[in-house]
Amino acid sequence: MQRILTLCIGNICRSPLAQVLLAREFPQRMVWSAGLGALVGEPADPISVALAAEQGMDLSAHRAQQVNLQMCQRADLILVMEQHQRVELERRYPLVRGKVFQLGERDIADPFRQPRTVFETAYADIALGVERWAGRIRQLR
Protein backbone atom coordinates (compact mmCIF):
# COMPACT_ATOMS: atom_id res chain seq x y z
CA MET A 1 0.00 0.00 0.00
CA GLN A 2 2.56 2.55 -1.11
CA ARG A 3 0.28 4.48 -3.49
CA ILE A 4 -3.16 5.61 -2.29
CA LEU A 5 -5.74 7.46 -4.40
CA THR A 6 -8.73 9.21 -2.81
CA LEU A 7 -11.71 9.87 -5.01
CA CYS A 8 -14.93 11.86 -4.98
CA ILE A 9 -16.90 13.65 -7.71
CA GLY A 10 -15.49 17.15 -8.19
CA ASN A 11 -12.14 16.70 -6.40
CA ILE A 12 -12.52 20.00 -4.56
CA CYS A 13 -14.21 19.13 -1.23
CA ARG A 14 -13.93 15.59 0.14
CA SER A 15 -11.10 13.78 -1.63
CA PRO A 16 -8.58 16.61 -1.09
CA LEU A 17 -9.34 16.48 2.65
CA ALA A 18 -8.90 12.71 2.67
CA GLN A 19 -5.66 13.13 0.72
CA VAL A 20 -4.06 15.54 3.18
CA LEU A 21 -5.18 13.51 6.19
CA LEU A 22 -3.75 10.29 4.73
CA ALA A 23 -0.56 12.08 3.67
CA ARG A 24 -0.14 13.29 7.24
CA GLU A 25 -0.54 9.70 8.49
CA PHE A 26 1.80 8.29 5.84
CA PRO A 27 4.32 10.95 4.79
CA GLN A 28 6.54 8.31 3.21
CA ARG A 29 3.81 7.11 0.83
CA MET A 30 2.37 8.59 -2.33
CA VAL A 31 -1.16 9.91 -1.72
CA TRP A 32 -3.15 11.87 -4.28
CA SER A 33 -6.77 12.61 -5.15
CA ALA A 34 -8.98 12.88 -8.21
CA GLY A 35 -12.63 13.11 -9.21
CA LEU A 36 -15.05 11.16 -11.36
CA GLY A 37 -16.40 14.45 -12.70
CA ALA A 38 -13.59 16.72 -11.61
CA LEU A 39 -13.75 20.48 -11.85
CA VAL A 40 -10.37 20.27 -13.56
CA GLY A 41 -7.89 22.93 -12.50
CA GLU A 42 -10.11 24.39 -9.78
CA PRO A 43 -8.69 24.93 -6.29
CA ALA A 44 -10.11 23.16 -3.26
CA ASP A 45 -13.31 24.64 -1.91
CA PRO A 46 -12.54 27.55 0.46
CA ILE A 47 -14.32 25.81 3.34
CA SER A 48 -12.24 22.65 2.82
CA VAL A 49 -9.12 24.81 2.72
CA ALA A 50 -10.15 26.49 5.99
CA LEU A 51 -10.96 23.19 7.75
CA ALA A 52 -7.61 21.74 6.68
CA ALA A 53 -5.76 24.88 7.82
CA GLU A 54 -7.44 24.69 11.23
CA GLN A 55 -5.90 21.21 11.58
CA GLY A 56 -2.46 22.36 10.42
CA MET A 57 -2.75 21.09 6.83
CA ASP A 58 -2.35 23.10 3.64
CA LEU A 59 -4.70 22.66 0.67
CA SER A 60 -3.82 25.96 -1.00
CA ALA A 61 -1.87 24.33 -3.84
CA HIS A 62 -4.55 21.73 -4.63
CA ARG A 63 -6.00 21.70 -8.15
CA ALA A 64 -8.76 19.31 -9.16
CA GLN A 65 -7.91 16.54 -11.59
CA GLN A 66 -9.97 13.98 -13.46
CA VAL A 67 -9.36 10.33 -12.62
CA ASN A 68 -7.86 8.36 -15.50
CA LEU A 69 -6.67 4.86 -16.32
CA GLN A 70 -3.04 5.60 -15.43
CA MET A 71 -3.98 6.80 -11.94
CA CYS A 72 -6.03 3.67 -11.38
CA GLN A 73 -3.21 1.42 -12.57
CA ARG A 74 -0.67 3.20 -10.35
CA ALA A 75 -2.79 3.06 -7.18
CA ASP A 76 -2.48 0.16 -4.74
CA LEU A 77 -5.60 1.33 -2.89
CA ILE A 78 -8.45 3.60 -4.01
CA LEU A 79 -10.73 5.09 -1.36
CA VAL A 80 -14.06 6.55 -2.49
CA MET A 81 -16.56 8.62 -0.54
CA GLU A 82 -19.76 6.89 -1.69
CA GLN A 83 -20.76 3.42 -2.83
CA HIS A 84 -21.99 4.64 -6.22
CA GLN A 85 -18.51 6.06 -6.90
CA ARG A 86 -17.04 2.60 -6.42
CA VAL A 87 -19.59 1.14 -8.84
CA GLU A 88 -18.92 3.85 -11.43
CA LEU A 89 -15.14 3.58 -11.13
CA GLU A 90 -15.31 -0.21 -11.56
CA ARG A 91 -17.59 0.26 -14.57
CA ARG A 92 -15.15 2.68 -16.22
CA TYR A 93 -12.00 0.79 -15.25
CA PRO A 94 -12.71 -2.90 -14.53
CA LEU A 95 -9.04 -3.45 -13.61
CA VAL A 96 -9.61 -1.61 -10.31
CA ARG A 97 -11.82 -4.32 -8.87
CA GLY A 98 -10.40 -5.56 -5.60
CA LYS A 99 -8.61 -2.32 -4.71
CA VAL A 100 -11.54 0.12 -4.45
CA PHE A 101 -13.16 0.59 -1.04
CA GLN A 102 -15.30 3.18 0.71
CA LEU A 103 -13.39 5.44 3.06
CA GLY A 104 -16.21 5.50 5.59
CA GLU A 105 -18.46 2.77 6.86
CA ARG A 106 -21.29 4.67 5.19
CA ASP A 107 -21.48 7.22 2.39
CA ILE A 108 -19.82 10.55 3.17
CA ALA A 109 -22.23 13.23 1.94
CA ASP A 110 -20.99 15.78 -0.58
CA PRO A 111 -20.84 19.21 1.10
CA PHE A 112 -20.42 21.13 -2.18
CA ARG A 113 -22.34 24.43 -2.05
CA GLN A 114 -23.63 23.60 1.43
CA PRO A 115 -23.16 25.48 4.73
CA ARG A 116 -19.99 25.06 6.76
CA THR A 117 -21.77 22.71 9.17
CA VAL A 118 -22.20 20.18 6.33
CA PHE A 119 -18.47 20.47 5.56
CA GLU A 120 -17.68 19.93 9.23
CA THR A 121 -19.76 16.74 9.26
CA ALA A 122 -18.06 15.52 6.09
CA TYR A 123 -14.64 16.34 7.57
CA ALA A 124 -15.44 14.41 10.75
CA ASP A 125 -16.59 11.41 8.68
CA ILE A 126 -13.45 11.61 6.52
CA ALA A 127 -11.17 11.88 9.57
CA LEU A 128 -12.84 8.83 11.12
CA GLY A 129 -12.47 6.89 7.88
CA VAL A 130 -8.80 7.86 7.59
CA GLU A 131 -8.18 6.77 11.18
CA ARG A 132 -9.82 3.41 10.49
CA TRP A 133 -7.95 2.86 7.22
CA ALA A 134 -4.61 4.00 8.71
CA GLY A 135 -4.89 1.18 11.24
CA ARG A 136 -5.59 -1.34 8.49
CA ILE A 137 -2.77 -0.09 6.30
CA ARG A 138 -0.28 -0.23 9.18
CA GLN A 139 -1.18 -3.89 9.78
CA LEU A 140 -0.11 -4.70 6.22
CA ARG A 141 3.55 -3.87 6.78
| Domains, the chain | 3-135 (3.40.50.2300)
User: What pLDDT is stored for residue 1 in this prediction?
Assistant: 87
Catalytic-labelled residue, pool 14, 45, 72, 125: 14
E strand or H helix that includes residue 92: helix 83-92
Q: Where are the beta strands (DSSP E) in 68-134?
A: 77-80, 100-102
pLDDT (tens place) for every residue of the chain, 141 residues total: 899 999 999 999 999 999 999 999 999 999 999 999 999 999 999 999 999 999 999 999 999 999 999 999 999 999 999 999 999 999 999 999 999 999 999 999 999 999 999 999 999 999 999 999 999 999 986
CA-nearest of 72, 81, 132 to 99 is 72
pTM of the complete model: 0.96
The CA distances from residue 83 to 29, 42, 99, in Å, are 25, 25, 14
User: What pLDDT is stored for residue 140 in this prediction?
Assistant: 83
Catalytic-labelled residue, pool 63, 76, 107, 110: 110
What is the rounded CA–CA span in Å between residue 136 and residue 95?
Answer: 22
CA-nearest of 38, 34, 33 to 21 is 33
> Does the active-site annotation cover 110?
yes
> Does the active-site annotation cover 97?
no
- Collapsing DSSP to helix, strand or coil, 59 comes out as coil
Q: Which residues pair with residue 78 across a beta bridge?
A: 5, 100
> Does the active-site annotation cover 45?
no
Instruction: Report which residue type is found at 37.
Output: G
Helices and strands (DSSP H and E) totals, the chain: 5, 4
Q: Tally the C-alpha atoms within 13 A of residue 44's C-alpha that lie toward its C-beta.
A: 26
- Collapsing DSSP to helix, strand or coil, 33 comes out as strand
User: What pLDDT is stored for residue 141 in this prediction?
Assistant: 63
